Structure 1
Amino acid sequence: MKYILLFFFFTSFVTMSQSIAWRQLSSAVLEEAKSENKIILLNLKANWCHWCHVMDDSTYSNLAVQEYIETHFIPVKADQDANPELSARYKEYGWPATIFINGNGEDVVKRAGYISPEPFLRLLKAIVADPSPEEETGFPTVLKASPDSDKSVLNDLQKAFENALDYEDGGFDQDQKFIENDTYEYALFNGKEVKIKNWIKTSVNGARKLCDPAWGGVYQYSTHDDWEHLHFEKLLSIQTRYLRIFHYFNLYFPEEETAQKEIDGILRYINRFFKHENGLYSNAQDADLVQGEHAEEYFRLGDKERMKLGVPKVDTNTYTYNNAELARSLLILSYGNEGDGSYARTSHKILESLAQRKASNNLYFHAAEKRKVWSLKDQIAMALLLIEELKANQNNKEVKELLNTFLSAVAKQFINENGSAKSFVGDNGLIAQPLIEENIQLARIFNWYSYFSNQKKYKVLAKGLFDYLIHPEIAKVYYSQPALLMLSKELNEAPLEFVFVRNGEGSSLSDKARSYAPFYSLFSDYSKDELPQEKEELFGDFEVNVLFACTANYCSSPMYDKGDVGEFFK
């Protein structure tokens, strides 16, 4: 019996101690896969993800799975937050996302979420038996779409936008409940129908239930097609999104219960748990107190009771894209926060720290660790932050020069010959593909900048991106893209320009307009004696502070106080 027990403990120790020799994705790994005729298994996970922990503890700890992987595959593990080019590429499949890649860099099989050991082992064996890709790889190079196809695709997108919404409960008509930024922006600034306005109110009231009553901050989403089944991870990117959502809700729906409590809760939470001395903020907090174990009972507790048990692990990495997004959100909040410059100061401190990540190629590194792969996701977030800085002060010469140099570098290094934009530059072994959401965002940025800078080449770049996106072959791969509807509209009209003429102290009128204004807006502030000649003829006769909203063809009635500004936007 003693020997049997010793054998049992020995074999148990071997089973528990054996682990997979995970690698990092690189060109060398791709070359090895090609030369050895093996498939790469990419385990793309997140530090804060409950089911990632479960899959580590069950599936990847299973001895049979480990042995089969080590024999037949090249195992690669990556943190999706640390690798935004992978996160953006495979976001529909995670997290965890399990991606199988051949030596040519082609995706063979992609699977979403947790897979238990036995089904996973069957999947591994099936791929070894038939390693051919499940789907076609690559992307079309034909660009020019006819006006008819433009109209057809845009009509389909409008229908898809309307059909995607859950008008009864808010959010999308799907299992997960949350508010997505582009959908909210399009609904807020372009949705004229009562049912769209009601959807916004229902969605925001639902999203209040995602807010942590003890610590503040917003959980990622709810499942079961309602707002009650919470997933408890808190991501900085989610906090920055809801800061803007709640801010605009307060402005455009003043008759509804204010969301200021939710805004204050987000700021209280991130300043308590995420803030670093250099002004940057951590990436995320885990959904689990004990990794791999559901923490629903823990999150029902109040602050003191939670603190006695401990705090879920915080991923303390400070990433560029979500810190840039936070800085932009804080700037937008600052416009309505008269007399208190704390939001703007915090935003500027974030920008100062992120400026240290600028590389010699004029692009921005993703993290403090200066990995030589530059994601378009990071560059877009930095561009949006710099644009917001110029909206706050169009005379900031330093930011003007910085944005000009930066966007020139982005155009030179990211734009493909077919007009699309690749998702990253640098070498991680994979071919950089154009991704839909990123191409839309970049096109909107280029188009806005073409008007701000009077550089027509950026309009041409924006139109090239649009032509790629609207091509019927590309349109097959997406369903609802409200940002593409916004891009289509923006390409066909000049941005709304707000002209503030200062005849006395203060700039509260223009700040009020900045609070309300959509992305596609320009701002010009002048004292009366600084007016350019073309504006002197229009605005030179006013003797008090006054604000105008101007299109290419006409200007609004003069706005003399905040009430006028609010009425204009309503």
Structure 2
Amino acid sequence: METDDVTRVEWREWGADAFDEAADRDVPVLLSLTATWCDHCHEMDAETYAVPTLAANVNDGFVPVRVDVDRHPRVRDRYNMGGFPSTVFLAPDGSILTGAGYLGHDGLRQVLERVRSVWETKGAEAGSIPRPLQDTEPPAGQLTADVERQMLGQLTDQYDEVAGGWGEEPKFPLPDALEFALKRDREMALRCFDAVSANLLDEYEGGFYRFATGQDWSGLQHEKLLDSNAALLRAFANAYLYTGEDSYRKPAERALEYLTTTLWVPESGEDGDDRSHGGAFAGSQAPGDPESHVLEASDREAVDQPPVDETVFAGANALAIDALCTYRAYTDDERAGRYAERALETLRDAMLEDGVVTHYRPAGADSGWAVESERGLLADQARVLQALTNARSILGADTVDDAVAVADATIDRLRVGDSFVDGPRSGAGLLEHPLRPLDANVELADALLDLAAITGEDRYERVARETLEAFAGASDRFSVQVARYASVATRVLEGSLVIRIGTPAGSDLHRAACRIADHEKVVVPGVQGVSDVPEGAAVAERGSRTTEPATTPAELSDHVSNLLV
């Protein structure tokens, strides 16, 4: 138990002890979901929980539990009330009594009284379990070409022709939708890219803000998260691949600069100096003073920078590695490759063991396991697998054994039926109820297709197909937020474009293969002597069709063009 100096609330940590205490005292749990980058969370602490009478009310009549949503994503995904802070009231069995977002002191006082009254009247019977945790199997179906068509229709219907982007408010950048549209409706995609860079890119510090509250991109939320910045870096790099225009390369470059400076956490040697190897990316940067973001560049130099949460999250770092490798492939940027290699080294050495990923390492932690961190979460496994396969494809890194270990551990531990649950089916509250997140299942299926192409192991492609089929019964209702499902489904139905290179990574032929204008392709360098690819040549394949060996970049481009006709 710890009394917060700001809130005066005696916050407990998430775990069985808190729920046992609630059962022993016969009182509800007050669960507060917060994030270090969330200004409204800090505001609620200062203006609501800091009121002495409210804090006393919470301490006397409830068991208050504080959870950082980045460190505990399984708790976040089961109890999120639509944003942060989330204020959730639970029965001692973890079921939900009621919930809200931000509450001022009057609002919290009213909710506390209402919950106390309901608890005294109905007790635990008032609790409910969210529907996604009740249905153990998603609606299965067959994959058809309609999936891609329906998703494109969704994007077209929700396209904002005036402000750019998709949907009304709030306005998120939706990097997966941007990448899906690049291959299906490039004009619409590029207008959306333009809107994102014009409105969310921090021209002074680099990096992208998280989202805007208004449909016209007004009401910017100035926090910057590693995972969203990494995803947008990759998306803009892919836009540059198709267009060759600096207007798409430069936002990616600005994001790269932000990641490798503001968010970079070096591994320090005994003398405290930044080593030439190791290091990782911090999880997020808080928004800071909103007024500072509208100052002129010369005035911003005098403003203190918003604090950075230096917690190292495996999944977000894997996304960053993937993005840096992608940018490196199209630009030959040595800095991108160097930082990708350093973060990959940390990821493999300190956060990966026997194919199982550790979710996070606390800020300032020495190398080793973060003992309080969960391990083997689906999103982390999927993203690390993608980083390992992309590092093999772009950097020629020796990552195949690790990638196979991650894939096999994920299939062994998290596959239930034909789809995957989000993590170990155990823990306090509702954590033992399985949750099958569509987005993480899709990310894993995408990475498994890459691994199948690299290793030649058809079983990974089979698992990827079955994973997508497990959700296909609802594919006509998928939102644009999961546009990647349609991209991966198309890869399964039509076959991935795979280019095998009989030269090492970095050769002219490999660089040319990386620049083939298809961001969903898989490039496998250095395979001479272990495949049908002659030394010094390249062979492309898609499905059952294979090209003749090409020995020059121009010849390879012609062969691929003919293959895709």
Length-normalised TM-score, structure 2: 0.83
Q: Name the residue aligned to 1:466.
A: 468
Kept after mapping to 2: 8 A contact 1:43/1:97: yes
Q: Name the residue aligned to 1:492.
A: 493
Kept after mapping to 2: 8 A contact 1:27/1:428: yes
Q: 1:314 to 1:509 in 2, by over 3 A?
A: same
Instruction: Kindly provide the amino acid, as one letter, of the partner of residue 406 in structure 1.
Output: V
Name the Cα RMSD after superposition. 3.5
Kept after mapping to 2: 8 A contact 1:365/1:371: no
* Structure label with greater radius of gyration: 1
Task: Give the drift of 1:23.
Answer: 0.8
Q: Which residue among 58, 61, 65 is the counterpart of 1:72?
A: 61
Deviations 1:527-546 (A, max 9, x none): 8x7474x556xxx9xxxx66
1:441 and 1:362 mapped to 2: Cα distance?
17
What does residue range 119-518 of structure 1 map to in structure 2 within 5 Å?
119-130=107-118, 131-133=126-128, 135-136=130-131, 138-142=133-137, 145-147=140-142, 157=151, 159-189=153-183, 191=184, 196-209=185-198, 210-254=200-244, 258-278=247-267, 279-288=279-288, 295-338=289-332, 341-358=334-351, 360=353, 362-368=355-361, 369-374=370-375, 375-392=377-394, 398-416=398-416, 418-425=417-424, 427-429=426-428, 430-431=431-432, 432-472=434-474, 481-501=482-502, 507-516=507-516
Task: Give the drift of 1:515.
Answer: 4.2
Instruction: Kindly provide the amino acid, as one letter, of the partner of residue 521 in structure 1.
Output: K
Q: 1:404 to 1:79 in 2, by over 3 A?
A: same
Q: Which residue among 17, 40, 44 is the counterpart of 1:28?
A: 17
What does residue range 100-119 of structure 1 map to in structure 2 within 5 Å?
100-112=89-101, 114-119=102-107
Answer with 399-408 or 363-372: which moved more. 363-372
Task: Give the drift of 1:334.
Answer: 1.2
Deviations 1:165-205 (A, max 9, x none): 3233222212123321221121113x1xxxx3222122111
Kept after mapping to 1: 8 A contact 2:27/2:63: yes
Instruction: Kindly provide the amino acid, as one letter, of the partner of residue 317 in structure 1.
Output: T
Task: Give the drift of 1:75.
Answer: 0.9
1:550 to 2:541 alignment: yes
Deviations 1:507-543 (A, max 9, x none): 233323324565653324468x7474x556xxx9xxx
Instruction: Kindly provide the amino acid, as one letter, of the partner of residue 363 in structure 1.
Output: V
Q: 1:135 to 1:261 in 2, by over 3 A?
A: closer
1:62 and 1:454 mapped to 2: Cα distance?
62
1:561 and 1:17 mapped to 2: Cα distance?
62
Task: Give the drift of 1:386.
Answer: 0.4
Answer with 303-312 or 314-323: which moved more. 303-312
Answer with 239-248 or 365-374: which moved more. 365-374
Instruction: Kindly provide the amino acid, as one letter, of the partner of residue 496 in structure 1.
Output: L
Q: 1:361 to 1:117 in 2, by over 3 A?
A: farther
1:94 to 2:83 alignment: yes
Q: Secondary structure at the match of 2:30?
A: strand
Kept after mapping to 2: 8 A contact 1:106/1:137: no
> Is there any run of 5+ residues in structure 1 with no aligned partner, and where?
1-14, 289-294
Task: Give the drift of 1:273.
Answer: 2.0
2:56 and 2:50 mapped to 1: Cα distance?
10
1:505 and 1:176 mapped to 2: Cα distance?
42
Q: Name the residue aligned to 2:73.
A: 84
Task: Give the drift of 1:218.
Answer: 1.5
1:85 and 1:16 mapped to 2: Cα distance?
27
1:94 and 1:320 mapped to 2: Cα distance?
23
Q: Name the residue aligned to 2:271.
A: none
What does residue range 530-549 of structure 1 map to in structure 2 within 5 Å?
530=529, 532=531, 534-535=532-533, 547-549=538-540
Task: Give the drift of 1:276.
Answer: 2.0
Q: Name the residue aligned to 1:8.
A: none
Deviations 1:251-291 (A, max 9, x none): 2123x552333233223333332222222122222112xxx
Kept after mapping to 1: 8 A contact 2:35/2:41: yes
Answer with 232-241 or 266-275: which moved more. 266-275
Q: 1:391 to 1:163 in 2, by over 3 A?
A: same
Q: Secondary structure at the match of 1:425?
A: coil
1:505 and 1:77 mapped to 2: Cα distance?
47
Instruction: Kindly provide the amino acid, as one letter, of the partner of residue 250 in structure 1.
Output: Y
Kept after mapping to 1: 8 A contact 2:313/2:359: yes
Q: Name the residue aligned to 2:522.
A: 522
1:559 and 1:128 mapped to 2: Cα distance?
75
Q: Which residue among 42, 46, 52 is the counterpart of 1:57?
A: 46
Identity %: 19
Instruction: Kindly provide the amino acid, as one letter, of the partner of residue 63 in structure 1.
Output: P
> Is there any run of 5+ residues in structure 2 with no aligned partner, and where?
119-125, 268-278, 362-369
Task: Give the drift of 1:564.
Answer: 7.2
Q: 1:129 to 1:52 in 2, by over 3 A?
A: same
Kept after mapping to 2: 8 A contact 1:509/1:565: no
Answer with 319-328 or 504-513: which moved more. 504-513
Answer with 463-472 or 400-409: which moved more. 463-472
Kept after mapping to 2: 8 A contact 1:373/1:427: no
Task: Give the drift of 1:501.
Answer: 4.8
Instruction: Kindly provide the amino acid, as one letter, of the partner of residue 138 in structure 1.
Output: L
1:508 and 1:89 mapped to 2: Cα distance?
49
Length-normalised TM-score, structure 1: 0.82
Task: Give the drift of 1:428.
Answer: 3.9
Instruction: Kindly provide the amino acid, as one letter, of the partner of residue 415 in structure 2.
Output: I
Q: 1:455 to 1:27 in 2, by over 3 A?
A: farther
1:420 and 1:506 mapped to 2: Cα distance?
37
Q: Name the residue aligned to 2:365.
A: none
Task: Give the drift of 1:322.
Answer: 1.5
1:565 and 1:330 mapped to 2: Cα distance?
24
Task: Give the drift of 1:344.
Answer: 1.4
1:151 and 1:252 mapped to 2: Cα distance?
24
Instruction: Kindly provide the amino acid, as one letter, of the partner of residue 389 in structure 1.
Output: A
Q: 1:63 to 1:154 in 2, by over 3 A?
A: farther
2:259 and 2:89 mapped to 1: Cα distance?
36
Task: Give the drift of 1:216.
Answer: 1.8
Q: 1:462 to 1:36 in 2, by over 3 A?
A: farther
Deviations 1:421-461 (A, max 9, x none): 22122754122422121122222323443443343443443
Deviations 1:384-424 (A, max 9, x none): 10010221366x5x4111111221111111122x3332212
